[in-house]
């Protein structure tokens, strides 16, 4: 009974690994062919937007502080 459960678990594990490898193979193949799929570009854009937003915001704050400091030096 217990050996059957172990065998079933091992088979399910192997099937899951094969399925994941197949899916990654298809994704890598489409990426290498240069096929611009909509879901891949949408995923890339959605992942990069939050990082761009926070980095742009901090850089804008830094630029503003620098310009304020430069203006204060010119006034004095």
Regarding whether 45 and 31 lie in a shared domain, the answer is: no
Whole-Å CA distances, 26 to 7, 33, 36, 72, 76: 29, 11, 13, 58, 64
Regarding whether 24 and 3 lie in a shared domain, the answer is: yes
35: confidence class by pLDDT, cuts 50, 70, 90: low
Span 8-26, pLDDT tens digits: 999 999 999 999 999 999 8
What is the spatial distance between Cα 49 and Cα 56, in angstroms, rounded to a whole number? 10
3-class state of residue 36 by DSSP = coil
pTM: predicted TM-score of the whole model, two decimal places: 0.42
Regarding whether 31 and 42 lie in a shared domain, the answer is: no
Regarding whether 72 and 44 lie in a shared domain, the answer is: yes
Give me the number of domains the chain comprises: 2
What own/partner pairs with CB < 8 Å and gap ≥ 24 does 29-33 have? none
Q: Domain containing 27: what range? A: 1-35
Regarding whether 28 and 9 lie in a shared domain, the answer is: yes
């Amino acid at each position: 009974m217990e050996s059957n459960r172990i065998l079933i678990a091992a088979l399910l594990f192997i099937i899951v690994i094969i399925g994941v490898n197949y899916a990654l193979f298809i994704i890598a193949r489409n990426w290498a062919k240069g096929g611009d799929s909509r879901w891949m570009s949408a995923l890339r854009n959605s992942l990069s937007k939050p990082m761009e937003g926070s980095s742009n915001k901090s850089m804008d704050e830094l630029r503003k502080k620098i310009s304020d400091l430069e203006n204060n030096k010119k006034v004095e």
